[in-house]
Structure 1
Amino acid sequence: MGKISYYTEEGLNRLKAELNDLKTKGRSDMSRQIAEARDKGDLSENAEYDAAKDAQGLLEMKISKMEEIVSNARLLDESSIDASLVSVLSTVKIKNRKNGATMTYTLVSEEEADLKLGKISVGSPIGKGLLGKKVGDTTEIKVPAGTLEFEVLEIGR
């Protein structure tokens, strides 16, 4: 069984839409490419046909992986989350104790993470280090560049 992941309604809907697109448009495009390659003659020496069949295999593998992710996805009920602790979907303002820089991140599932939008994965080193913390707590987090110490300034939704 795969790993259970929690999603916002928006994130889960985006995953389902991508899966549906791969199953419908992706498969029909792949069938068309294979048919075009088949029409070009002898299949034993047809590189386009071989490439199209390989691409079809990769598409089916991606669809299978997406189906597994969607089947193990759970919608997060925000009303049942303790807002005083950092958890999935928390928006956290933290301060780097060493240089005084403040940052604000929202903790999300791996598939929804986007650093440009301030969304970090709960599985990332910083995400893991912040989970379960309260306002005023400090935490040391090991990152590739070394160990950083952060103070939790605010927790929101």
Structure 2
Amino acid sequence: MQEFSEQALAEQGLAEQDVRRAAMDLLARREHSYAELSYKLRKRFPPERIENALQRLVDEGLQSDERFTEAYVYSRSNKGYGPARIRNELIQKGVSQNLLANYLFDDDEKWFSEASRLKDKKIGEQKKLSPKDRMKVYRFLAQRGFLSSHINACLG
């Protein structure tokens, strides 16, 4: 009986190492949120082993939702996406509202300048826009995740 429990402990330790290794492989490619890692690992491992392994990674500073959120906001905003879209994507990836409030600011000046830059790229630097062009730009920027205040400011 004692032999079985030692064997079971060894197997559990091995399984936790496997989970840790799989999580580290994912983290080596890019930052992941805790929920995103958990979701991906559930396809291969039982949930009770995942939680222990992921908590160890968090405790060791190898996985951080804050670092993930900061990197994600930076990356997506540099690709021309607005705050509403970035917020929705982060919520889908399991990031808490508190973290979003710390890293994503709707009234940041960069959103206004980015919306204006994308407008100029889309239709050129025309002074007077036709109603058709205004709607085209409005829809484009709204799909990119910009708020109406950003869009209206760049349309003047």
In the superposition, the TM-score normalised over structure 2's length comes to 0.28
Going by fraction, where is helix more abundant, 1 or 2?
Answer: 2
TM-score, normalising length from structure 1? 0.27
Q: Normalized per residue, which structure has more strand?
A: 1
